[in-house]
């Protein structure tokens, strides 16, 4: 994987990836007590990793340190040790931090990744956040209404309530989940997998079948997706795939046979992918009878953003049976000396023929990083994550978004945070990077007499990362006159910035929100005075 120069010049900025940003442990479901966490190394050199935990008595981590070969991954297992149902062990959040080091310089930290671990009382039932009832059956609906032609109305099926059937399905689901947790093949480089008996190593075929029974296929590599579509599952008609590895290889594109029976295909990946035209489009072209298609991707492009014209030419016009196409695509491009870069209006104009679909689009250009992004999506989007939100954030309600990141080279004003909190009401994790000071702080102070209308409310927020921000944004979240959030917040922040904003941990206006923090990760130079511990009475400080 080649790296941009702005990353190689500062190793501390290297991004690393894990298979999940959060682990949920349900006390009423023993199958969740052990969970696989995959660590990825997308680079061309060997890295060392070390897994740290804020609550080592509650969790154990298999293989907490080791090495990851270039462009490989390592599986480790996180186990919940304390499974008691005491009140102190319910609805609490801890954090695992994975640190990455260059093997050649063992003391140099080159990256990190945080994973939240939540211990919950019980596993909730699936529910929809749509308020509108389905007039046909009186039940809530969750459909993808953005169509090229009018979609077929959903079929309302009566729920099976036979206890025997429920019991059989539960056992079958548990077996399939167990199969997915087991290692795929013996890995000589992973001592933990080597200790597991060989008869418990599952074949890829077994895991694919188990995933298909569960109704969701999560694969690590693009090669595994091609394996599923090589003809052995010729009767497959619906495939929903979530890629957790962003490495695509053109060497694997050999099978040209049509996938005739596949009618519905949904592909998502939380990380940036490359080789969209060389790898993904040829695969989609094999699905000649596809009727429903969903693409939820962030894609690196060379010289042109993906817009409506691109989707019509390379997707819609190549699939004659397609009648439902939903997408959420963010294309990223490095900018050197290009001129005539497309504007928001240019992107909107490319969707003029999408008459039956509401499309939202906007572009951002980051001059300091010499990059640009174009975000296009069919509304409403069902993506659980919304990345690199800027001041161009569009209006709308995003009920399904849980994880967001904010970034801009221009300041975020207080009104922006109010808009974000109202548009994404169920967000659980927020990460912010912005080094520009706010411009309208003084004018905000003059109008701050109406408390209810000027406060940003985060009712479901669990994790807040404000390590790389100007002090104004620390004030934004810690001032109780600007921000409201519930208890049990996990926060990552720079120690010196926190010390300045709280005026050496004596400031009253930040005291209320600081008392709601139950875990705090401090970066930079730290000094643990009693005043710090008194200021965060409910927090574990790291």
Q: Do residues 36 and 181 lie in contact, with contact meaning Cβ atoms separated by under 8 Å? A: yes
Q: What percent of the chain shows pLDDT beyond 90?
A: 37
Report the candidate in 77, 110, 78, 109 with the shortest Cα–Cα distance to residue 95.
78
Residue 45 pLDDT greater than 70, yes or no: yes
Residue 220 pLDDT greater than 50, yes or no: yes
For residues 8-28, one letter each, b for 16 or more C-beta atoms within 10 angstroms of the residue's C-beta and e for the rest, the string is: eeeeeebebbbbbbbbebbbe
What is the pLDDT at residue 103? 75
What is the pLDDT at residue 155? 29
| H/E element, 218 | strand 217-219
**According to CATH, what is the number of the domain 1-124?**
2.60.40.10
Residue 1 pLDDT greater than 50, yes or no: no
Alpha helix ranges (H) inside 15-125: none
Residue 201 pLDDT greater than 70, yes or no: yes
Strand 22-26: give its sheet, edge to edge.
22-26, 105-120, 92-102, 47-53, 65-68
For residues 420-452, one letter each, b for 16 or more C-beta atoms within 10 angstroms of the residue's C-beta and e for the rest, the string is: bbebbeebbbbbbbbeeebeeeeebeeeeeeee
Residue at token pair 């260059």: 102
Q: How many whole angstroms from its chain centre is CA 444?
A: 33
Neighbours of 477 (CB within 10 A): 24
Token duo for residue 438 = 């706010």
User: In the structure, what pLDDT confidence band is assigned to residue 430 with cuts at 50, 70 and 90?
Assistant: very high
Where are the domains positioned within the chain?
1-124, 216-379, 384-542
What is the pLDDT at residue 219? 58
* CATH 1.10.3470 describes domain 384-542: no
Q: What percent of the chain shows pLDDT beyond 70?
A: 76
Question: How far is Cα 95 from Cα 520, in angstroms, rounded to an integer?
Answer: 10
Question: How far is Cα 273 from Cα 416, in angstroms, rounded to an integer?
Answer: 29
| H/E element, 94 | strand 92-102
What is the pLDDT at residue 140? 38
Question: Mean pLDDT over all residues of the chain?
Answer: 79
Of 186-190, 252-256, 350-354, the range with the lowest mean pLDDT is 186-190
What is the pLDDT at residue 130? 41
Of 107-111, 114-118, 129-133, 533-537, the range with the lowest mean pLDDT is 129-133
What is the pLDDT at residue 339? 77
What is the pLDDT at residue 254? 63
């Amino acid at each position: 994987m080649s790296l941009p120069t702005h990353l190689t010049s500062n190793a501390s900025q290297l991004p690393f990836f894990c298979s999940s940003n959060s682990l949920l442990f349900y006390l009423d479901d023993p199958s969740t007590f052990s969970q696989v966490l995959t660590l990825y190394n997308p680079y061309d050199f060997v890295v060392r990793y070390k897994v740290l935990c804020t609550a080592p008595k509650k969790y154990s981590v298999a293989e907490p340190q080791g090495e990851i070969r270039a462009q490989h991954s390592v599986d480790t297992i996180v186990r919940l040790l304390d499974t008691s149902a005491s009140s102190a062990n319910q609805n609490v959040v801890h954090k695992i931090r994975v640190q990455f080091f260059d093997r050649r310089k063992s003391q140099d930290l080159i990256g990190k990744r945080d994973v939240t671990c939540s211990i919950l009382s019980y596993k909730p039932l699936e529910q929809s956040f749509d308020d509108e009832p389905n007039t046909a059956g009186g039940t809530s609906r969750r459909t993808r209404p953005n169509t090229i032609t009018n979609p077929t109305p959903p079929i309302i099926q009566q729920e099976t309530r036979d206890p025997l059937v429920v019991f059989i399905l539960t056992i079958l689901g548990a077996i399939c989940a167990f199969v997915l947790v087991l290692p795929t093949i013996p890995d000589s480089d992973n001592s933990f997998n080597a200790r597991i008996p060989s008869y418990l190593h599952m074949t890829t075929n077994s895991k694919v079948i188990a995933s298909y029974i569960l109704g969701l296929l999560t694969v690590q590599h693009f090669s595994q997706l091609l394996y599923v579509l090589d003809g052995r599952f010729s009767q497959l008609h619906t495939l929903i795939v979530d890629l957790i590895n962003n490495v695509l290889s053109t060497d694997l594109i050999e099978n040209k046979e049509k996938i005739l029976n596949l009618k519905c295909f949904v592909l998502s990946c939380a990380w940036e992918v490359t080789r969209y035209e060389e790898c993904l489009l040829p695969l989609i072209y094999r699905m000649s009878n596809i009727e429903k298609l969903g693409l939820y991707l962030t894609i690196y492009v060379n010289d042109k953003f993906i817009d409506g014209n691109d989707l019509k030419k390379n997707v819609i016009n190549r699939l004659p049976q397609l009648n439902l196409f939903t997408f959420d695509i963010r294309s990223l491009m490095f900018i050197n000396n290009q001129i005539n870069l497309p504007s928001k209006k240019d992107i909107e104009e490319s969707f003029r023929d999408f008459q039956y679909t509401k499309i939202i689009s906007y572009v951002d250009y980051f001059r300091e990083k010499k990059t640009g992004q174009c975000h296009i999506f069919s509304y409403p989007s069902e993506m659980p994550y919304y990345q690199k939100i800027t001041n161009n954030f569009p209006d709308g309600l995003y009920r399904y978004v849980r994880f967001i990141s904010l970034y801009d080279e221009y300041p975020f004003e207080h009104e922006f945070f109010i808009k974000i909190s109202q548009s994404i009401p169920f967000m659980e994790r927020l990460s912010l990077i912005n080094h520009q000071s706010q411009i309208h702080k003084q004018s905000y102070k003059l109008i701050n007499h109406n408390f209810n209308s000027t406060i940003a409310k985060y009712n479901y927020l669990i994790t807040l990362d404000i390590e790389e921000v100007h002090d104004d944004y620390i004030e934004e979240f810690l001032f109780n006159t600007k921000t409201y959030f519930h208890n049990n917040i996990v926060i990552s922040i720079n120690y010196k910035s926190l010390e300045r904003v709280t005026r050496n941990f004596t400031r009253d206006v930040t005291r209320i929100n600081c008392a709601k923090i139950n875990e705090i990760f401090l970066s930079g130079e730290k000094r643990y005075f009693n005043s710090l511990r008194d200021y965060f009475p409910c927090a574990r400080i790291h």
